[in-house]
Amino acid sequence: MLTRRDLLVAPLLLSGCGRSEVAVERPLFVADAHPSEYPTVQALFAIDRILAERTGGEMRVRIYSGGQLGSEADTLEITIFGGIDMNRVNLAPLNSIAPETIVLALPFLFRDTEHLRQAVDGAPGRKILDALSRHGLKGLCYYDSGGRSFYNTKRPIHTPGDLRGMKIRVQNSDIYVAMVQALGANPTPMPYGEVYQALVQGVVDGAENNWPSYESSRHFEVARHYSLTRHVLAPEVLVASERTWQKLDEQQRDHLQAAAWESVPIMRDLWDRRVNDARRRMLESGIEVVEDVDHEAFVDLMLPVWDRFLTTPKLRELAEEITRMNNFDTTTPG
């Protein structure tokens, strides 16, 4: 198993003299917080298969799933340094690194999954991935993450007032902190891997996530009230270390980028099925699902959050560009 010390020497192993002579002498290391059967991790396995086939086994990816290399925030730092070659993270831990990523995390920005897919497949998605290169990361592609909804151990949430005073775990991102504060609850930033215990011990009363994570993290065992607020649809993102990227020759980069793009429809297909399966299993487990949510009341309280985080004309334009794309009439689960 890879240790933190290995990660410190890993950049030295990806060697080469001139760019065109670079050889990948070991597999590319990639981190993911989710267990191996989760759709994001399955997408990484797909990348490995595609690369192995196209390069006759010269380029491979080795996947460290289940958060074994550390929290998303920690592994991102190591990725920027070059100790991990690739990282599949939620957009939230990137919010403090690249301000452009905040736009996709704005509450109630997306109407549904189709709207999100249109935005990330189009110009706005491209701009945000490109913005990462100034911060030591090469943005490769986005994956779905569905709608995040609040769940808790105490009571059903229909209105923001029901959240008042509750301690809610949030991802390590200022916009999530502000969002939960604006709803009248107490935000507690905490790495994903610590949330289950925190719920059991009452350190927090609730959290927020999509159906597949609510299930696979087993938070549903403790937090039995799941309210369909779907307040954020921010995607997952696959990044490479800019240091690793610079060590690959042009053909290797093309292979890696193509494999990442090709993994997106594979992931979306797995994702849609996983959302349906997780939802069905959760309902069967007897949790209380609150569908009757006062969305307007939630949206109203989020307007100041938009103002606070859209601090530059560039960010406002990006948000407007995405809002204008909201012209679909199909829906997919999320």
Task: List interacting residues with ligand GTR (CB under 6 A).
Answer: 33, 72, 89-90, 92, 145, 171, 192, 209-210, 213, 236
Task: Give the nearer residue to ligand GTR in terms of CB position, either 114 or 236.
Answer: 236
Min dist CB 27 to ligand GTR, Å, is: 22
Min dist CB 92 to ligand GTR, Å, is: 6
The angle, 0 to 180 degrees and rounded to 10, between the axes of the packed helices 113-121 and 123-131 is 60
Spell out a b/e string for 112-132, using b for 16 or more CB atoms within 10 Å of the CB, else e.
Answer: bbbbbbbbbeeebbebbbebb
At 37, is the secondary structure helix, strand, or coil?
coil
Residues in the chain, how many? Answer: 334
Task: Give the nearer residue to ligand GTR in terms of CB position, either 19 or 281.
Answer: 281
Task: Give the nearer residue to ligand GTR in terms of CB position, either 33 or 325.
Answer: 33
Task: Give the nearer residue to ligand GTR in terms of CB position, either 271 or 298.
Answer: 271
Pairing of strands 61-64, 225-232: unpaired
- How would you classify residue 111: left for phi > 0, otherwise alpha for psi between -120 and 50, otherwise beta? alpha
Min dist CB 213 to ligand GTR, Å, is: 4
Task: Give the nearer residue to ligand GTR in terms of CB position, either 16 or 193.
Answer: 193
Min dist CB 86 to ligand GTR, Å, is: 14
Min dist CB 170 to ligand GTR, Å, is: 8
Q: Which of 168, 159, 284, 158 is nearest to 220 (CA)?
A: 284
Sheet holding 288-290, edge to edge: 186-189, 167-170, 206-209, 148-152, 225-232, 288-290
**Token pair in block for residue 258:** 């193509």
Of all residues in the shown chain, the one whose CB is closest to ligand GTR is 90
Task: Give the nearer residue to ligand GTR in terms of CB position, either 113 or 145.
Answer: 145
Task: Give the nearer residue to ligand GTR in terms of CB position, either 159 or 196.
Answer: 196
Beta bridge partners of 168: 187, 206
Min dist CB 72 to ligand GTR, Å, is: 6
What own/partner pairs with CB < 8 Å and gap ≥ 24 does 48-57 have? 50/258, 50/259, 50/262, 50/263, 51/255, 51/256, 51/259, 54/255, 54/258, 54/259, 55/252, 55/255
Min dist CB 172 to ligand GTR, Å, is: 8
DSSP string, 143-178: E----EEEEESS---SSHHHHTT-EEEE-S-HHHHH
Min dist CB 209 to ligand GTR, Å, is: 5
Distance separating alpha carbons of residues 108 and 105, to the nearest angstrom: 9
Task: Give the nearer residue to ligand GTR in terms of CB position, either 24 or 163.
Answer: 163
